[in-house]
Amino acid sequence: MPSNSFTILAGTANPPLAAAIARELGVALGACAVGRFPDGEVMVQLHDPVRRKDVFLVQPTSSPVNDHLMELLAMADACRRAAAASITAIVPYFGYGRADKRHGRREPITGRVVADLLQVVGISHVVTVDLHTPQIEGFFHAPVDSLTAVPILCEALSDRVSPDWLIVSTDVGRVQMAACYAQCLGLPVVILRKRRNSASQTEVTHIVGDVSNRSCLLVDDIVSTGGTLAESITALLKAGARPDIIIAVTHGLLLPGAREKLDHPAVREVFVTDSVGVPREGWPALHVVSIAPLIAGALERLLETRGDARHKTTSPS
């Protein structure tokens, strides 16, 4: 589709990723301003027209989650009121994705609440990367394209691992992701069973598989405080794994204290994507792999499909 038929707008959560996606597509970012009133309320102004355009809003809902979510909602509402043809939310990291079910009788399913909010403001399509659980797609009536960063991470890791390595899933919920790594790299999978003691503390109860004298590629979808990965490293070393571990995670939230937990003598390197803004200064073991080509490719296919559909609609019978 011609470049003037769509526009890409960025919130404040990860402008460099939005700019990289725009470069991949050969367009400039649309002009908009996202700020705050003195009391903290979100302010949005669109400086470019979006009338009859397909609008793509790039905004991971990373920390501070509520602020970035509100920005996304406000931007979508501004585009809807400015007569955009369609509004697609590019949410590489979907905040509240871990709140996908109730653990008790008096808890919210906040992931569903967020899905409802996105649709109420006019978002008609969502593109995301490595959802924490696949059932989140079912919270939406709108189409959801759930991409995976595993192949591009495997490409970056291919020269770091050898046939005697193991893929280690941090818990049972990540087995499918670990299987994707195993398929890409041709390595066997070991599973850690864990028990969650609180929102920030987990405990590895046992290991399914033999890790003795093996190097390990430890994989997960999210690293926030680093507690789960730190417990996993301790459990692997205690079980006889070599002190030669690489960590690969899609969403490197890396909250305060996470680096200290992962800066372990047994950890050779840490790989994350740029789905969220990653503080990488002064950490030579950290490698950031861009998902901009992955998302840009998905948007190209989406624009082609929409263009074909509109051509059929307007063509004489």
Rounded CA separation 79/35 (Å): 16
Exactly one of 194, 238, 261, 312 is catalytic; name it.
194
Q: What is the 3-state secondary structure (H, E, C) of 1-29?
A: CCHHHEEEEECCCCHHHHHHHHHHHCCCC
The strands making up 6-10's β-sheet, listed across from edge to edge, are 6-10, 54-58, 86-91, 125-129, 144-147
| Cα distance between residue 15 and residue 9, in whole Å | 9
Residue 226 vs residues 20, 39, 79, 220, 282: alpha-carbon distances, Å:
27, 33, 37, 11, 18
For residue 316, cis peptide bond before it (omega within 30 degrees of 0): no
Known catalytic residue: 238?
A: no
Catalytic residues: 194
